[in-house]
């Protein structure tokens, strides 16, 4: 039997059997006739500052390190963190704002490598780096989650995965209160652009050994977050 035949057979058999199995469903019933009550919170009612504080609290709760600065201080903060961590080879997506790296560039000991879709670094190269610096698409306060959608300042997925350290910049206006707000905001990315998404809540972890939480199995073992208050006057 050829492949095409087999696929055709399996598909039509399965669909036929499903229809037979659902003989109790009236033929006139449409999917939307089965009621789905969305009787749960759709919007956060918390104040902006409370949302930001909750994001920080829950992100720290999941063992990430969090800093909070104004936009004008961002480049300085990034340089301080890299220095404190003794990062010498730092991966960045090629569209990362120059301004973020302004202070790092002055420091000879830190070598930044830009990765792009057209000129990607090899996995081995990423593995040999000390860490990666990116922005994000969105963040959720209620769960302490950072969302990457391979969009602006985030690069392709591999660069935030292979290095052992991830420094992530989150602007306060990117933080939503609850999960439904984030899912709604991501709809266009998924439907129109079909970009892959990654939800990150703390560094990777396992509880497989006697249920003790161990940080860092395969993803970056350290996640550090800079929460940034946008400065209306600054250009980024």
Q: Which of residues 133-162 bind other proteins (CB under 8 A)?
A: 140, 142-145, 150, 156-158, 161-162
**Shortest Å, Cβ 148 to other proteins:** 10
Radius of gyration of the chain (CA): 23
The residue from 94, 95, 106, 208 that contacts other proteins (CB under 8 A) is 208
Query: Which range of residues in 76-84, 96-104, 121-129, 168-176 is near other proteins by CB under 8 A?
Result: 121-129
Q: Which residues contact 25 (CB under 8 A, 6 or more apart)?
A: none
Number of residues counted as binding other proteins (CB under 8 A): 81
Q: What is the side-by-side strand order in the sheet with 165-171?
A: 65-70, 222-229, 165-171, 131-134, 89-93, 111-115
Contact between residue 115 and residue 121 where contact means Cβ atoms under 8 Å apart: yes
Nearest to 171 by CA among 152, 189, 197, 187: 152
**Shortest Å, Cβ 214 to other proteins:** 5
Asked if 205 is part of the footprint of other proteins (rule: CB under 8 A), the reply reads yes
The residue from 4, 39, 84, 108 that contacts other proteins (CB under 8 A) is 39
Please state, in angstroms and rounded to a whole number, the distance separating the CA atoms of residues 125 and 15: 47
Site for other proteins in 41-100 (CB under 8 A): 41, 58, 62
Q: Which residue blocks in 41-178 are alpha helix, DSSP H?
A: 48-61, 74-84, 102-105, 123-127
Report DSSP state, residue 233. T
Q: Which is nearer to other proteins, 39 or 98 (CB)?
A: 39
Asked if 207 is part of the footprint of other proteins (rule: CB under 8 A), the reply reads yes
The residue from 68, 198, 229, 236 that contacts other proteins (CB under 8 A) is 198
**Shortest Å, Cβ 20 to other proteins:** 7
């Amino acid at each position: 039997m050829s492949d095409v035949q087999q696929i055709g057979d399996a598909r039509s058999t399965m669909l036929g059997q499903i229809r037979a199995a659902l003989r109790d469903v009236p033929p006139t019933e449409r999917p939307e006739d089965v009621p789905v009550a969305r009787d749960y919170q759709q919007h956060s009612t918390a104040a902006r500052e409370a949302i930001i504080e909750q994001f920080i609290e829950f992100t720290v709760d999941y063992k990430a390190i969090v800093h909070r600065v104004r936009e004008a201080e961002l480049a300085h903060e990034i340089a301080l963190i890299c220095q404190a961590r003794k990062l010498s080879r730092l991966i960045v997506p090629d569209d990362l704002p120059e301004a973020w790296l302004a202070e790092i560039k002055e420091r000879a000991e830190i070598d930044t490598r830009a990765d792009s879709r057209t000129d990607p670094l090899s996995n081995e190269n990423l593995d040999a780096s000390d860490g990666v610096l990116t922005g994000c698409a969105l963040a959720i306060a209620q769960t302490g989650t950072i969302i990457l959608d391979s969009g602006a300042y985030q690069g392709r997925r591999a660069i935030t995965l292979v290095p052992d350290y991830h420094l992530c910049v989150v602007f306060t206006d990117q933080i939503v209160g609850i999960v439904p707000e984030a899912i709604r905001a991501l709809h266009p990315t998924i439907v129109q652009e079909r970009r892959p998404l990654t939800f990150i809540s703390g560094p990777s972890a396992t509880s497989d050994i006697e249920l003790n939480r161990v940080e860092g199995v395969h993803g970056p073992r350290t996640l550090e977050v800079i929460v940034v208050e946008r400065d209306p006057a600054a250009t980024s």
